[in-house]
Each structure stands twice: as C-alpha cells, then as structure tokens.
Structure 1
Amino acid sequence: MTPSVRLPSAIIATAIASVAFFATGFVVVRGLADVKNASDVINVTGSAKRNITSDLAGWTFTVRSSDDSNLQNAYKAFQGAQPAIDAFLRAQAFATSELRREPVNAGPQNYTVIEDVNGENAEVERTRYVVSQTFRVQSGNIAKLQSAVSAATAAFVDASTGGLSIESGDVQYLYTKLSDVRVQLLEEASKDAQRRAQAIAQSAGNSIGAVKNARVGVFQITPRFETSVEDTGSYDTTALEKDVTAVVEIDFVVR
C-alpha cells in the first residue's frame, strides 16, 4: 500500500489561488472581447428623393393710388378705380375662401429726390399721399391663379392713367401633403442606409445587426433638378415642380 503524501498547506493555498487567477483572467478577457464586439459599428448615410408637383399656389398683389398734393385726391382716384378692381376679381372667379382683402391703408409717404439747390445736387425730402389695398389669393387651381397673374397688369392699364398702380408679388407654390411624404422618405432613406451598411460589411466578411444610433438630417425641398442645398434645410416656394430629399445617418452593430 502506497503511503499517502501530505502536501504542505501553503502549497495547496498557492494552487487554489493560481486556479482562481486563471479563471478570473479568462472571465476578464472574455468580457473585454464582448465589449469590443459590442462597440464595433458601421456608420452609413442613407438618402431618398421624391418628385412632387405643388398643389397650392399663393399670390399677393397691392393696388394703390397716390397724389402729391393731398390725401383727398389720392382717395378719390382710388375710389374711382374700384369698378376696374371689382371687374377684374369677378373675371377671375375666385371663391370667397380663396380671396382675402386686407383693410385699405391711407396716409402720407415721405421720399427723397435729388434736386439742384443753388447749383449743387442735394437730397430733398418730398411727401406724397398714398391709398392702397392688398389682396391675397390662395388656390388649389394653379392654372386659374397663373392666368390671373398674367391678366392683372392689363386689367389696370386704363385705371393707371388716373394715378392707380398695381404691385404684383411672385407666385408661391406649396405642397399640402408634405408631412406624408416626409414619413415615406424617412423609411426609404433608412432602407437605403441599411443596404449600404450590409454591402460594406459583407465585403469584409461580416454582417450587420441592430441599429445602435440614428440621426435624421434636414429635409431639402428644391426646384426640380436643383443641386444646391442648405445646412439648415430648404423649402423652395418658387417652383411648381420640386424635389424633396431626406437624409438619415445610422450606426449599425457589426456581427
């Protein structure tokens, strides 16, 4: 019978400590590996574009009369032009909901002219008296509104001989379903980002996992085929045909 060997307690304690150390070391290394894998992400940008046609147009024009002598004459000229204004508006057949008349404004208006004063050019302040009224039109019938803009100047030609003038603003083109388009574009841009991330990951023998972070960029609403963009986003109102572009930036976990 082989006699038993008793190991000193110090050796046994050392052995136990060594096993514990290696076990702990394994856990730490494994934990570090997990953290590293969790921090491996790929950052991509996705975009989507949609062509839209404006479905609402707005137009503002102001009719005014002026007289250099007194306000009464300016108002008399303005009143005399009312039949021409009313006839023009009736011809355009704007609905009550499409047309808004602002209150009539009347009063003096100072302006400066250059005149010869004692043989030298000098700025001289003059006063004219002005009566004006602004009209605002907003319609979904864009062709009708465009036709009204073209007809406006001609409609007041005769009245202009009596001191009446018209100031026509630019037509503004809007799109009323923009909120729906934005949601759809964000979805399409996110899918575009996912496709790009997957292509990059596959080229390195990996795949992508869950989304870690996502950031939505500004929307760009520009005239059709326009390439310029703004850092804070843009919303064009000058063009009937527009492009809407959405951009998203997404971090995907790499597996």
Structure 2
Amino acid sequence: METKFPKSFAWILGLSIIIAFAVFSYSFYSARQLDNSLSVTGSARKQVVSDSVKWMSGFSRTVLQQDLKSGYAQMAKDQAIVIKFLQEKGIADSEINISTVFMGQNYYYDKGASTPKEYNLNQTVEVKSSDVQKITDIAKNIQGLIDQGVIFSTQNLEYYYSKLSELRVSLLAEAMKDAEARAKSIVESGGAKVGPLKSASMGPVQVLSVGSQDVMDYGSYDTSKIDKDVMVTVRAAYTIK
C-alpha cells in the first residue's frame, strides 16, 4: 500500500533543507574568512654605545678574634686609601658608594676546637658613572692600591644604555614596516594582496652583544660589552585580499 505524506510535511522538509544549506554555506564562508589571513614576524635592530657603567669591587682583611679591633682599624685605613685613589683618578664622591664592614667567621672542620676563631672583614665598593671609558680604564689598572697594601678585588664591569624607552618606539615602527614587507613578499608571489592589519603584538626588548642572536623569550640584557645591539620584534596578522 502506497504511503502518502501531506503537502505541509513536504513543504516543511523542503524549507529545512534550504535553511540547512544556508547555514552550511555561511559557516563555510566564515571559516574561509577566518583562514584568509597571514601572520608574520618583523624585527628591527640598532647598534648603540653604552652611556653608563657600574663597577663593583671590594677590599678585605682576615683577622683572628683577638685582633678584631685592629682589623676594623685597618679596614678604616684601607677605605681612606681606596677613596683617595678613586678621587685622584677623577671619580666624584657622588659616584662612589662604599658599604659598611661585613664580618663572617671562617670555619675549619679539620682543626681542633682549640683553634683560634678567624674572621673575614670586607667592604664592597660601587662606582656608577656616565664616563664609561674612564671607569673602564681605571678598573683595568688598580696596581696603585695593591702597592699600598690594600687587598683589593674587582668584578666585571656592567654597561648600560639609558635611552631604551625612546629607542624602542622608533624600532617598533621599523619592525612593523619589516613585518609588512615580509607579508607582501609572501602574499604577492602568489598573486594576492595584503589587506588591512588585523592585530599586532610586540615582543620583549633584546639588548645583545653586537652580532649576537642569543635572544630570550622573556627578553635579555647583556651588560658585558660597551657596544650593544638593541632588537625589537613584532608579531603582525594581515588580511589577504
């Protein structure tokens, strides 16, 4: 026996098919639109010369417990010698910071309990200056302090560039131009065109030794060299026409 469907059912079925096709077409078009973009990375780099330096150093004495009083007196004499040495080299008082005396006991576990207690007395010297070359030259020649009996030790100098904020702005603009140029190079080779910018984000500033590629995800700041490369990267997404 032949089954007959009412005309209203056929009408509803047809309308449902049309709606489903329309929804599918719109979803397919939207997906195509979402994929119709290109993300590229742009970068800009500039070499700069450090305009400030930090020099950390120190002097010390090792004394027995019964000689602590004379040890502190000797540290005061050493401090006066150090300050005079730095001043004679042209370093201003405002650029010199000397800590108080730190005292720490030396422990010798292979010796008996009757061994006299021994202490290290030390002070740190910090010099901050904008005269980078002068401080560099002084730090390389501390023989004058050694000749006067000061037990003086020096650490690596740290070099900084103070105008990073201003430089970052100009490098950011250059990095965006680089990103757009890269996008055009990729897209136009396939016959398409780069459309408006959809989004952009800036990576951390990288302060590197000259020519270095040792970048870090969270940024880096190399303080070991006077000459530096400052690099900025951007991530940009463009629509494709």
- Shorter chain as normaliser: what TM range? 0.7 to 0.9
User: How big is each residue's C-alpha offset from its partner over 1:197-254, in whole Å with a ceiling of 9 and x where there is no partner?
Assistant: 1121111111111222323223221111223222322110001111112111111111
Aligned partners of 2:106 and 2:120 also within 8 Å: no
Q: 1:188: how far off?
A: 0.9
- Between the aligned partners of 1:57 and 1:31, the Cα distance in structure 2 is 60
Alignment root-mean-square deviation, CA: 3.1
Amino acid at match of 2:124: T
Correspondence for 2:206: 220
What is the total number of aligned residue pairs between the two structures? 231
Q: 1:79 and 2:76 equivalent?
A: yes
Correspondence for 2:67: 70
- Between the aligned partners of 2:154 and 2:55, the Cα distance in structure 1 is 8
- Between the aligned partners of 1:165 and 1:81, the Cα distance in structure 2 is 8
Q: 1:156 and 2:157 equivalent?
A: no
Q: 1:193 and 2:176 equivalent?
A: no
Q: 1:173: how far off?
A: 0.3
Amino acid at match of 1:226: S
Aligned partners of 1:70 and 1:129 also within 8 Å: no
Q: 1:166 and 2:152 equivalent?
A: yes
Aligned partners of 1:110 and 1:125 also within 8 Å: no
Q: 1:53: how far off?
A: 0.8
More strand per residue: 1 or 2? 1
TM-score w.r.t. length of structure 2: 0.81
Identity %: 27
The structure with the larger Rg is 1
Q: 1:251 and 2:237 equivalent?
A: yes
Match of 2:94 among 93, 97, 104: 97
Query: Quick check: 190-199 or 66-75, which moved more?
Result: 66-75
Q: 1:79: how far off?
A: 3.1
Structure 2 unaligned runs (5+)? 1-6
- Between the aligned partners of 1:107 and 1:27, the Cα distance in structure 2 is 79
Pair 1:80–1:250, CA change in 2 (3 A): closer
Amino acid at match of 1:110: N
TM-score w.r.t. length of structure 1: 0.77
